[in-house]
Amino acid sequence: MSIPLKEFKSKNSDAEDLPMLNSLSSLTSSNFDQPKNNGFRYKFRQFFKSKKKEKFRERTFKLNGSVTFDNFSPNIIRNQKYTIFNFMFLILFEQFRFFLNTYFLLIALSQLIPMLKMGYLVTYFGPLGFVLTITICKEAFDDYQRYKIDKENNSQKYEKLTLNGTVTIPSSEIKVGDLILVHRNQRVPADMILMRTTEKSGTCFIRTDQLDGETDWKLRIAVPTFQRLGDNRDIYSYDASVYAEKPHKNIYSFVGTISYERNGMTETEPLNAENMIWANTVVASGVACGCVVYTGQDMRAIMNTNRPSTKRGKIDLELNNLSKFLCIFSLFISFILVALKGFVSSWLIDTFRFLILFSYIIPISLRVTLDIVRLYYSKCIEKDLDILGTKVRSGNLPEELGRIEYLLTDKTGTLTKNEMELKKLHMGTISFGNESINEVANHLDSAYFFILCNLVFLVLVANKGDNRMRHKKRDISTRTKDLVQALALCHNVTPIIEDGILSSYQASSPDEIAIVNWTQKVGLTLCYRDIHSIHIRLSNNQILEYEVLYIFPFTSESKRMGIIVRERLTGDIYFYQKGADSVMTKIVQYNDWLDEECGNMAREGLRTLVIARKKLSGEAFEEFEQAYQNARISKQSRNELMQQVVSNMLEFDLELLGLTGVEDRLQDDVRITLELLRNAGIKIWMLTGDKIETATNIAVSTKLVSRSQSFHIVSKINSTFEAQDAIDSLRQRLDHCLVIDGQSLQFFIDHFSDVFMEYSTRMTAVVCCRCSPTQKAAIAKLIIKHTNKRVCCIGDGGNDVSMIQAGHVGVGIEGKEGRQASLAADFSVQQFSVLTKLLLWHGRNSYKRSSKVSQFIIHRGLVISIMQAVFSAIFYFAPIALFRDMLAVGYSTYYTSLPIMSLMLDHDVTQEIALMYPELYKDLTKGRSLTLKTFLIWLLISVFQGGSIMAVTILLFSSQFLHVISISFTALILNELLMVILEIQTWHRAMLISELLSLIFYFTSVLMVKTDISNFN
């Protein structure tokens, strides 16, 4: 889209893609645990939803101060998940989706049937109720916190402009058509058209970090006709009519018009995204007067508040499958005991009674225990002094960090610092580097001297002496001036003036700030800018003034930006444009050096940008302006029509001015990090918007590829024959690093995804160039689908959000592009090097500890169940409980919980060893810590221990049967505590305390009753 006087949202062409125009709406949820729209769960939720979905529609309304519009969504923010009426229904439904909870609910309900009753109801309903109570209280507390925040936002006071002055109303009473005054540092309560501002320039800055995560300020432009009015209330005198398109999620696009009567004629002005201030943004300068167009559910901020689906770790899926196996195992034992008894008349009831007795096998406490230990893991990560600033946003995924086999990483701002510096300027026959700043400044002084002095005098001087040298020097100076002047004008940078002094620059792209800083060093300083003009100060303090006529901002699709300016001194009109070489090559005049120099700069690791211009005659500009204005007021396909006019009337046969090379410095310790991760067996894919030469240079400098590794480049594939040939070549080079461009990648994704993934996933490193945000997410999903391995995605920009959410683990870096990636990720970090400790230490420990804790809890249930089976078998296969009531409850709670939970402190190697030998991480990726094999080993141990305890107890104390329960239960407790001791590899003080507390609590409870422990039954 291209519109005049834009907010100047641009980014240098060879940089990574910006967040796509609809980056928020394109946030793709992970590809697992997605609810089906036609499923029971979806219908159940729909039935209990608290409000009906609003029907989005376009709107036209009069702006006269006397009409209210109540037929649109009320301006009420509601982020609560539940209502008073549906809370219990939804929370219980969510909880009983889990197999364990459903199983124990059935077991507990069976105790209401007299013939199946095995003990006190509290024995069975207690543990289930405890688990549910914790969850319900947590959900209720979280929802109450959301309610308080919503109430605070809905009750915030705003000034509403009426025909009789201003009145103060709460945010919840704001309606479509209201004129609202928003002061500096105040939150915008609804989506509004910026009608007027107290800033003389007719613009105001807004902060959008709470909307899109970007930290740079955005420039918004008031409607010119209303900005010229003397007072805000004069707006009502126009009796204007406002048209706004139907609401949608795209915060970078808006189509609207405002019409009014003037001199007996109806005039229409177009409204675009730069005229809008969205809800949840903050006014950063002046006082804004806005006309409300969208409220409540129609606001962009609300429409983009999509709750992503919850990711579940692989260990949860494995434990869920093991629980089902244990259920089958308990049914098998029950059937065997009933069969050995001979299937008597009550065999079906006996089967159910045995199932109830063996319910210990299914560990109901497993989920609660894992939640507790994961909370501990999260706190350890967040409080680690070596990785300060790391935040855990998904507390159920720490174990996933220990099983990563594929790492998908962005480049700009992730592997690099996103700190830009202009390193090289090339004009075909001459180039300038950082060391040539003084030379460039001299050329500029010379060029402007020739322009501003008497031309006749210069001609006379030029005819004397070495005319060739003078002519050559002037020619180079003029060309240098043209290029540097283009760099000083064609951008979206706004200077921030404080107390009359230039303090800093604001822009959406660090590339542009780097270029403007460089032009300042050589003598062209951007000293003033508003929506109508740009002022450039020369080294001699002379000011050059330019009138801004039109701006065509950068987009991910166009990969270029342009500006039309009129030089006030001469009246000359120029169209300047800069962009990626891939698109600018087709727009500029023929040349024989651009492609070669772009490749040379890319091999140096520089981000390239092509600069061009065209001088427009007055007639050509008027013709363009008329066609462009007609496209601007169109209500249908406005953006496409505007771009078509620009392409047809401006973007051809441009004069090539030069080429810039910008360096993006590498992140600290990125080389060491990538080398350690590669040695840990993790295959690394770098996904970047840069060209092939730049990407391969970064791959070498970051040690993404090893010294002995070669590149295998695949590019410009657009036919089946070429794709098949590339696959055959790839099959023979699996030890190479694959480098593929976006065009070829898309062809493989569309036509040969399976065979491409088969070979590419076997390579240790892959570099994808010219990669779009949608392609990044598609790659993550394809790797998951094809390999079923755990994938980690890391990035720092809004264009990485879809990839981050598509991976099993998403890591977001809080970078210069904002916090959008950080907020959407499962883990938020400060820099890329944090991954070393996050994966190799915290991830490894989390997975090994959770595996050990889970298997101990399963073992605890198996042992007591085996003892129950032996007891029943000895006593004529009767379904009678060995341990009942308090013994049954205490065994899995207060007698053994602390020692088992203390295993979350255990580790097999020190931190130094884990980081020094990353090969230790490889073993975890195979999932050997928790497999069917390890389960069967624990099953055999449980059978041996349970059978031995019962057999020895009965053999030794057969004459004192009353003591069998006491002795066997004591032996069971001591066995569990001893097993924990034997499994500990690194002792911690808390482990010893937990063992002693369990022993003390057990024997104290025996002494307190002052009788045989069998009385507990």
- Pick the catalytic residue: 17, 216, 410, 826? 410
Token output for 440:
């460039």
Whole-number pLDDT of residue 835: 94
E strands, 707-848, are: 711-714, 737-740, 765-768, 790-795, 809-813, 827-829
Look up residue 626 and give its amino acid: Q
Query: 73-77, 103-107, 222-226: lowest mean pLDDT where?
Result: 103-107
In angstroms, how far is the first alpha carbon of the chain from the final one?
78
The mean per-residue pLDDT over the stretch 810-818 comes to: 78
Say if residue 796 carries a ligand binding annotation.
yes
CATH 3.55.10.10 is right for the domain spanning 44-86+149-303: no
Residue 212 main-chain phi, psi, to 5 deg: -120, 0
pLDDT at 812 over 80: yes
Q: Where are the alpha helices (DSSP H) in 875-963?
A: 886-891, 897-901, 911-916, 922-925, 932-956
**Region 919-942 average pLDDT:** 84
Strand partners, 270: 257
Is 218 part of any known ligand binding site? no
**% of the chain residues with pLDDT over 70:** 88
The whole-angstrom separation of Cα 618 and Cα 612 is 20
- Which pLDDT score, from 0 to 100, does residue 773 have? 82
Q: Is 533:241 a contact under the CB 8 Å cutoff?
A: no
pLDDT at res. 816: 64
Q: Where are the domains of the chain?
A: 44-86+149-303, 317-379+844-1016, 404-415+667-829, 423-663
DSSP 1017: -
Tell me whether strands 282-283 and 276-277 are parallel, antiparallel or unpaired: unpaired
Q: Fold identical between 404-415+667-829 and 423-663?
A: no
499 is annotated as an active-site residue:
no
298: alpha, beta or left, given left = phi > 0 and alpha = psi -120 to 50?
alpha
Retrieve residue 783's tokens: 């790797």
Give the pLDDT of residue 979.
93
- Lowest mean pLDDT of 173-182, 716-725, 787-796, 953-962, name the range: 953-962
Summarize pLDDT for 500-532 with one digit per residue, the tens: 777 788 877 778 888 999 999 999 999 988 888
Tokens standing for residue 144 = 């109450």
Query: Shortest CA distance to 289 belongs to which of 241, 227, 246?
Result: 227
With a pLDDT cut of 90, the percent of the chain lying above it is 33
Which fold would CATH assign to domain 423-663? Calcium-transporting ATPase, cytoplasmic domain N (3.40.1110)
Structure token pair of residue 713: 């480049």
**799 assigned ligand-binding residue:** yes
Q: What's the CA gap between 280 and 817, in Å, rounded?
A: 19
Question: Residue 918's pLDDT band (boundaries 50, 70, 90)?
Answer: very high
> In whole angstroms, what is the distance from residue 215 CA to residue 822 CA?
12
DSSP state at residue 651: S
Give the integer Cα–Cα distance in Å for 525 and 402. Answer: 51
Whole-number Å distance between alpha carbons of 787 and 599:
35
> Is residue 927 a contact partner of residue 847, using CB atoms and an 8 Å limit?
no
Tokens describing residue 751: 């036509």
Are the beta carbons of 777 and 806 closer than 8 angstroms?
yes
pLDDT of residue 452: 65
630 is in an annotated binding site: no
Question: In this structure, are residues 382 and 392 in contact, taking their beta carbons and an 8 Å threshold?
Answer: yes
Contacts of 1008 (CB under 8 A, 6+ apart): none
412 a known binding residue?
Answer: yes
Mean pLDDT of 29-36: 36
Residue 268 backbone dihedrals phi, psi, to 5 degrees: -125, 130
Q: What does the DSSP assignment read for 20-83?
A: PTTTTTT-PPPSSSPPPTTSHHHHHHHHT-SSPPP----EEEEESSS--B-SS--S-----S--
Q: Any known ligand binding at 578?
A: yes
Residues 909, 912, 914, 919, CA torsion sign = negative
Q: What average pLDDT does the segment 104-108 reach?
A: 84
CB 742 within 8 A of CB 770: yes
In angstroms, rounded to a whole number, what is the distance separating the alpha carbons of residues 605 and 587? 25
Secondary structure of residue 655 in the 3-state scheme = strand
| Torsion angles phi and psi, residue 641, rounded to 5 | -65, -40
Per-residue confidence (pLDDT) for residue 474, from 0 to 100 = 45
Report the mean per-residue pLDDT for the chain: 83
User: Which tokens hold the place of 267?
Assistant: 């005039």
Which backbone phi and psi does 299 adopt, to 5 degrees?
A: -75, 145
571-625: pLDDT as tens digits: 899 999 999 888 899 899 988 889 888 888 877 878 889 999 999 999 999 999 9
Closest CA to 324 of 850, 883, 935, 903: 935
312 is in an annotated binding site: no
Of 189 and 145, more confident: 189
SS3 content of the chain, % helix, strand, coil (to 5): 50, 20, 35
283: three-class secondary structure by DSSP: strand
- Give per-residue pLDDT as tens, 248-260: 888 888 999 999 8
Residue 213 has pLDDT above 80, yes or no: no
* Positive/negative CA dihedral, 186, 192, 193, 196: negative
| Rounded alpha-carbon distances, angstroms, from residue 387 to 231, 395, 402, 833, 836 | 54, 17, 17, 9, 10
Candidate from 29-38, 124-133, 739-748 with smallest mean pLDDT: 29-38
**pLDDT tens digits for range 175-201:** 998 999 999 989 999 999 999 999 888
Residue by residue, what is the 3-state secondary structure of 568-597? CCCCCEEEEEEECHHHHCCCECCCCCHHHH
The answer to whether 800 is a known ligand-binding residue is yes
Predicted local distance difference test score (pLDDT) of residue 885: 67
pLDDT band at 957 (very low <50, low <70, confident <90, very high): confident
733 annotated ligand-binding residue: no
CATH topology of domain 404-415+667-829: Rossmann fold (3.40.50)
Q: Per mean pLDDT, which range of 322-326, 362-366, 483-487 is the poorest?
A: 362-366
Q: Does 411 count as an annotated binding residue?
A: yes
482 is in an annotated binding site: no
**CA 90 → CA 38, 367, 962, distances in Å?**
18, 19, 48
Span 452-468, pLDDT tens digits: 664 445 445 555 544 44
Name the pTM for this structure: 0.73
Picking from 472, 476, 491, the residue whose alpha carbon sits closest to that of residue 425 is: 476
CA dist 561 and 375 (Å) reads 48
Residue 533 has pLDDT above 60, yes or no: yes
